[in-house]
Structure 1
């Protein structure tokens, strides 16, 4: 179940983390991760990490069992955050240097207002099950038959408990954001996460495809999914409409700017649009390994892709020239950030590394000081 639900790229990454986590604890000793805060780790920099985010000098990374590390000086010093759950965390977004949101298994949505040092729970699967089902049941009783399918899918998603994960989160500003996840689960907030409203009725996803990523590009909001499907928010209708790309696999993420959109995913697939997603062309030569993360470089220098095979692919903004940095080690990069125009921060299942864009040297981050 968890293998199926994970970030679909991270579909192939996080399941191994979960097996590692489960192997260390018998079912007889099971404790609900929603009831316990994250354990303080003796060597937190050596743990698996799944996603990362940056705003100004603030860097934050998230991983299994509620582990969050943060740095408020651009990656010089790291500390473990205070986190109220032990759920596996798979995605994070920082809207500025102080405020951010993290999501993961058990329907968890966490928020910070102090640069990642402390986190509070805004939503979990228990809360969502009750709130989302009640929301649609009330509308249906009031005669709104348009939510019947959304209610059916929501009841199905929470039938077996609160484990349904959110797989990604994105905020436009300090108030408005989206969280998306397995089996079409989607929620929106317009008050900074004080309340979350289900949007299952506002996305053309009757098949309940997994929603693997969400991001704003320009004035648009895009959601990545499986079977080559993307969704784009129609702001006037307040509805996520389906976009076909010509790809048949799963997308793991989306990036872009200035009218250019790149959707990437399993098997090194990448598709490019220059007209807000109306038409797409395949990007070739991305090494054939699942792309777990990518971003647009500062000053419109191009793009960098992080692959499951431990390679970084650097492209100019027109994809005319590609340069590959091979770590030379059996690592699987899970996320990537640009610390400066000369250095990257990458996460994997063994911890954090810094990669020089000058000499391509990769150095493990081993000290918190």
Structure 2
């Protein structure tokens, strides 16, 4: 049987963003296929909604499927299947399990500081913690997301109908006809989603502060809160994404914001989200993450494809990694070294010296070839999570693996 990550490489795991204020921020991959299949409403005898079922306590939570890891101050916090949230205060040497009110798969986690954090996942779930990941409460779910999407679609339809009534220019009327047709189709889709239930997964979460945050994911979902998650608002219409392509990750790269997704989707904001523009990339395969090292941006995705830009995304060139394994997540160490992880236990590192503009690329394949979903820099090594749970990789182990 192929690994979970390999089977789902068409649409990896949830997005996250790399803040320059947190150089070890996880950038997780997206698992849309898994998200959709596991989130579908199935009526069985004795079935209980996983959104209302607390995660079971287990001593083996750190050995189960984990999809993201990040820092809460000095603490590591990881999330994954069955609603598992685990945390470590000794750089991954030992783990404890947090208290979580749901059993849905969690795809991404982010902390604004050492105490305040958020996790997102299947069924449109958004969880919040105010104690560094020890305990969590539910803020939002797919049912509320569907209601918000219907309300936004109805508002958009009313606005266009009013504009159409007032328009006198024939060309403007024709443009409004097309826009209204699209809006009515979007409204039909939103109402259909209400009938289906809480099926859409969030794939990434980012908080700029304790109040200002984003959740994004499948089918172009993008929500924003400005009150710490007390209320969430659909802002997907702000993006140039009319086909509702999956959004894998939102990354803060210096003063710019970048969203990557399926079919080579790269969207940039240079004014803190006030406006967005789509960038041209010489690639139309799915992208799962973005990181910044020094002045360079990196985006990566299917079949080991990595592209770099030194001009804020205006132009891109491909970096040959030597690996054809799908890369799902990236993290950056304090010295600027980048680690990309993905299918079949693949860990790719990129380091620059002061002489060459081409990074030194090394590839490590973990024993057992279990898929990796995310990573974080730990000391002079890395902490990775994936199919087999959490694992620390020391610098000496890495060097031995790559023959140094």
For Structure 1 versus Structure 2, the TM-score category normalised by the shorter chain is: 0.7 to 0.9
2:367 is the alignment partner of 1:328? yes
CA distance in 1, matches of 2:65, 2:378: 20
- Give, in angstroms, the shift of residue 17 of structure 1: 7.0
SS of 2:383's equivalent? strand
SS of 2:13's equivalent? coil
User: Which of 56, 60, 64 is 1:43 aligned to?
Assistant: 60
What are the residue-to-residue correspondences of 1:81-100 with 2, within 5 Å? Answer: 81-100=98-117
- Give, in angstroms, the shift of residue 13 of structure 1: 8.1
1:226 alignment partner in structure 2: 262
Quickly say closer, same or farther: Cα 1:57–1:237, change in 2 above 3 A: closer
More helix by share: 2
User: Which of 345, 348, 354 is 2:383 aligned to?
Assistant: 345
2:300 alignment partner in structure 1: 264
CA distance in 1, matches of 2:339, 2:294: 17
Q: Which runs of 5+ in 1 are unaligned?
A: 363-369
CA distance in 1, matches of 2:272, 2:395: 42
- Give, in angstroms, the shift of residue 138 of structure 1: 4.0
TM-score of the two chains, using structure 1 as the length reference: 0.87
TM-score of the two chains, using structure 2 as the length reference: 0.80
After superposition, the C-alpha distances for 1:90-123 in whole angstroms (9 at most, x for unaligned) are 1111222111111111001111111100111111
SS of 1:127's equivalent? helix
- Give, in angstroms, the shift of residue 203 of structure 1: 0.6
Quickly say closer, same or farther: Cα 1:309–1:76, change in 2 above 3 A: closer
2:338 is the alignment partner of 1:303? yes
CA distance in 2, matches of 1:157, 1:200: 16
Quickly say closer, same or farther: Cα 1:51–1:187, change in 2 above 3 A: same
CA distance in 1, matches of 2:66, 2:101: 18
The alignment of Structure 1 onto Structure 2 pairs a total of residues equal to 357
SS of 1:191's equivalent? coil
What are the residue-to-residue correspondences of 1:11-30 with 2, within 5 Å? Answer: 14=31, 27-30=44-47
After superposition, the C-alpha distances for 1:138-189 in whole angstroms (9 at most, x for unaligned) are 4544647879736455445545221111111111222212111111111111
CA distance in 2, matches of 1:268, 1:184: 24
- Give, in angstroms, the shift of residue 233 of structure 1: 2.1
Q: Give me the CA root mean square deviation.
A: 3.1
